[in-house]
Structure 1
Amino acid sequence: MKKLLLTTALLSSAFFAQAQSVPNPNTTTHTYEMTQTYQVNVPQGSKGETNLWVPLPFNSDYQNVLSIEFEGNFKQAYITENNQYGAKTLYANWDEKAEKRDLTVKLLVQTQDREPMVQGLLKDYQAPEKIEYSVDVQQYLKPTQHIKIDGVVKAFADKIVGQETNPLKQAKLIHDWIVNNMERDNSVLGCGDGDVEKMLTTGVLKGKCTDINSVFVALARATGIPAREIFGIRLGQAVKMGEYSKSAFGGAKDKVANENGGQHCRAEFYLAGFGWVPVDSADVAKYRLTEKKAVDDKNTQAVANYLFGNWEANWIGFNHARDFNLYPTPELAPINNFGYPYAEVGGDPLNSYDAKAFGYEFISKEL
């Protein structure tokens, strides 16, 4: 049995070096305790070691990781950021002959709403005459395997933004286009694979959060606006968005919630002279499907307006990683994204999207 506790003072992350957004000093903070219990199931007949990679939350101006604690019967376990995105990861492994494969992870995280649009901080935004992005921002202008920025993606982006040159207004045009043209498809596995070129080429403009918000990211990058997905998980009940929806944006009973299916991908884009701006086009589609609302419904429009430039804090972010290699490198590499735990037994991957078959349970509690 091993145990480790990391407090905020000990946590280091490449995220601190990245440009930050502006938090809302008047927003009430929320503190969540999240317990992840793993009893990794080894498929019958499988041989070899069991390796597990667990995404952990980053620190930022809107998210403060107060502690990370873990224990289990693993052979070895450690926290690493050794990957191209600096995605904080807990890696654990077990011998082939281990009688069981248990791990418990406890996270204590304080969150704060991000509302630069509500605050009016972007009301008169104008881009600087000369835009120069730092190295850590430049990487979010580049394509990846699933985030193409040329060909059909560039053609769509050019048509959507037209003659508009203000980056904030360009991003709003992209958000509005997605709201008006994309739909949520609950039959999609997990959060979707976010293959933007495929969606735009086939014209099947449906999916889940990774699919829809990856379209925003790709179209923004194709327009010259740095943008990125953020993979994370909902914790508890939405408050502000609950004004419009009873069920679309997470739920909790007595501030306790089972989050096995709570993984959610958000997005953000970068404005020179300001910083990162939150957006969540995908949750507009989720609202419409859950509440059976039309695009032009006044509540749909209210949700769409709020989710451009604002996020509610019933969610924590893990990383911005797409099409990359975990460390140590698994047999399946690169992986598409890292919002779910990932495990391999003898080099064969488990189904991360099936909590029961995989052997995990996530419980959050708002303190």
Structure 2
Amino acid sequence: MKSNGRPLCATAFLAFWIASASRAQNLPPVNPQALTTQFTETITLQPPCLEIKQIRLWIPIPSDGPRQRIVQLSIHAPVPYRLTQEGRYHNRMAYLVFDHPNQQPISVEVSWVVTRYASPQLPSERTVPSLSALFLQPDRLVPVGGTYAALARQQTVSASTPYDKAKRIFAYVTQHFRYDYSDSSPEYGKGDVAFVCSYKKGNCSDIHSVLVSLLRSLGIPAYIAFGFPLTGIPAPIPLPTEGTIGGYHCWVWADVPHRGWMPMDAADAIRWNDHGYPQMANKLFGALFLPRTAVDMSRGRDIVLSPPQKAGPLNYFIYPYAEADGKALPVNWHLQFKVLLCSPSGSSS
């Protein structure tokens, strides 16, 4: 859909930003109420040698939910595929098997269109399946209880409600941890809570693992969600309407009594604060910035795929994963996006 040759999204945002720029130079971009984006992913595998008998490939496929709707899913591959879903977190994937591959590169293309909503399209109690008990348990690198429970209690000693406790934990994480812009951490992106609590710096996976650990240690179910952003921080004005995505982003959901499932993005709150936008950072307890969370691909850690892989659980499942005769095989992927439509709002919430 276009208006005078310009995508509707760009037209609406540009008008808002021009008016805003005349009033204030330090105003963050408006958060849309809905954002529709087409993603196209190209996956390439190189068989390591002629002796390989079988290559198996799992590709993350986003699922419908209260905050997103998936349409026009298309998979082009040289072999048949089937859509599967793992049983623990209900993450969806495409599964392909290449028997007796030669040494020619294998190419697969996946595309879909997703509409993301700032507000859930279903009642809040249906936002996430009933997995609260699961989301109180520790993960391999995300401990619960012990010193982390003591730390969480210390940070929430004067908080009287679960909501207040969650907000205090969010504030603690955003104030005491730094974002690792240089990728200098020796454990960068692993989400190893013990290491991050000592190093005090990491990426979104690291920072949000700490947030999940502390929330769970207080008895508040929480999990990490992985997806893709359309832009970095600070977000440019105007936002890009097409481009190439270089990596994932992640955020946290917490089941707060009497509030339902709430989103939190402590890592981006740190980044917005670092760039002088505290008003944007403050919004990310209870809300998401859609251009940074344009599609939700998967959730959870220690993922056993469907059918199960042989090389052990995945720390997270956001990129395609392959095995050659049971051993992990490198996968090259290239992801492009094109914004089709967005509905702007008048505020950044």
TM-score bracket for this pair, using the shorter chain length? 0.7 to 0.9
Q: Does the Cα contact within 8 Å between 1:153 and 1:196 map onto a contact in 2?
A: no
What SS class does the counterpart of residue 273 from structure 1 fall into? coil
Q: Which residue of 2 aligns with 1:92?
A: 96
CA distance in 2, matches of 1:250, 1:318: 25
| TM-score relative to the length of structure 1 | 0.74
Instruction: Give a deviation string over 1:47-76, Cα, whole Å, max 9, x none.
Output: 2322211111121221111231101102x4
Q: Which residue of 1 aligns with 2:39?
A: 34
Tell me how large the CA RMSD over aligned residues is.
Answer: 2.8
> Which range moves more in the overlay, 267-276 or 30-39?
267-276
Question: Which of 284, 290, 305 matches 1:326?
Answer: 305
The answer to whether structure 1 residue 364 and structure 2 residue 349 are counterparts is no
Q: Which residue of 1 aligns with 2:271?
A: 286
In structure 2, runs of 5+ residues without a counterpart are 1-30, 341-349
Q: Which residue of 2 aligns with 1:256?
A: 242
CA distance in 1, matches of 2:67, 2:101: 43
Structure 2 residue identity aligned to 1:302? Q
Equivalences for residues 288-367 of structure 1 within 5 A: 291=275, 299-314=276-291, 315-351=294-330, 358-367=331-340
Instruction: Give a deviation string over 1:107-135, Cα, whole Å, max 9, x none.
Output: 111111249xxxxxx9xxxxxxxxxx995
Structure 1 position 321, deviation (Å): 2.2
CA distance in 2, matches of 1:251, 1:50: 39
Q: Does the Cα contact within 8 Å between 2:32 and 2:290 map onto a contact in 1?
A: no
Q: Does the Cα contact within 8 Å between 2:273 and 2:281 map onto a contact in 1?
A: no
CA distance in 1, matches of 2:162, 2:250: 22
Question: Which of 162, 169, 172 matches 1:167?
Answer: 162
| TM-score relative to the length of structure 2 | 0.78
Q: Which residue of 1 aligns with 2:112?
A: 107
CA distance in 2, matches of 1:270, 1:306: 18
Q: Does the Cα contact within 8 Å between 1:280 and 1:308 map onto a contact in 2?
A: yes
Q: Does the Cα contact within 8 Å between 1:152 and 1:197 map onto a contact in 2?
A: no
CA distance in 1, matches of 2:67, 2:169: 25
Equivalences for residues 266-277 of structure 1 within 5 A: 266-277=251-262
CA distance in 2, matches of 1:140, 1:35: 31
Q: Does the Cα contact within 8 Å between 1:191 and 1:263 map onto a contact in 2?
A: no
Instruction: Give a deviation string over 1:131-165, Cα, whole Å, max 9, x none.
Output: xx995222111112122112221121111111313
> Which range moves more in the overlay, 319-328 or 93-102?
93-102
Instruction: Give a deviation string over 1:85-105, Cα, whole Å, max 9, x none.
Output: 111111112123243312111
CA distance in 1, matches of 2:189, 2:36: 29
Question: Which of 57, 64, 73 matches 1:52?
Answer: 57
Structure 1 position 262, deviation (Å): 3.0
CA distance in 2, matches of 1:359, 1:262: 12
Q: Does the Cα contact within 8 Å between 1:33 and 1:108 map onto a contact in 2?
A: yes
Q: Does the Cα contact within 8 Å between 1:149 and 1:222 map onto a contact in 2?
A: yes
The answer to whether structure 1 residue 232 and structure 2 residue 232 are counterparts is no
Identify which of structures 1 and 2 has the higher relative contact order when contacts are C-alpha pairs closer than 8 Å and 6+ apart.
Answer: 2
CA distance in 1, matches of 2:231, 2:145: 39
Provide the aligned length of Structure 1 versus Structure 2. 300
Q: Which residue of 2 aligns with 1:15?
A: none
